[in-house]
Structure 1
């Protein structure tokens, strides 16, 4: 689970970009922290970089496939 110290630097956003699930090996549409919806593993990635492939980490049989969901979006101004 992502954590932070200073809430003043975090802005809550109800955008649907946080609801989308992305398959492994696709380009990250946004920079930020992505979380595997099945196991909770988190990764930080730059926009346009490739999300980790299916074999990046394995789930036990029956747990489901790897899907990445944006947890925290990073902005650069």
Structure 2
């Protein structure tokens, strides 16, 4: 689970971007922290960079494939 120290740096948001799951090896639509919904492993990634491939980290037998879901979005000021 993503951790933080200062609650002033994070904000609850119900954007649909947090509901989507992403296949390994596709471009990250947002910069932030992505969680493997199968095993809970997390990665930080820049927008447009490629999410780690299927063999990025091992799953215990029977868990299933890697699926990435946005957990924390890095908001950019425009």
Whether TM-score is above 0.5 comes out as yes
Q: CA deviation at 1:33?
A: 0.1
Matched pairs, number: 77
Shift of 1:62: 1.1
Displacement after TM superposition at 1:60 (Å): 2.0
Aligned match of 2:39: 39
Question: Following TM superposition, where does structure 1 have runs of at least 4 consecutive aligned residues deviating by more than 6 angstroms?
Answer: none
| CA root-mean-square deviation | 0.7
Q: Supply the distance in 1 between the matched residues of 2:3 and 2:63 (Cα, whole angstroms).
A: 25
Question: 1:11 & 1:32 partners in 2: Cα distance?
Answer: 14
TM-score normalised by L of structure 2: 0.94
Q: Quick one: distance in 2 between partners of 1:62 and 1:4?
A: 32
Q: What residue in structure 2 maps to residue 59 of structure 1? A: 59
- Shift of residue 75, structure 1, vs aligned partner: 1.3
Unaligned runs of 5+ in 1: none
Q: Give, in whole Å, the separation in 1 of the partners of 2:54 and 2:65.
A: 8
Instruction: Give 1:76 shift.
Output: 1.8
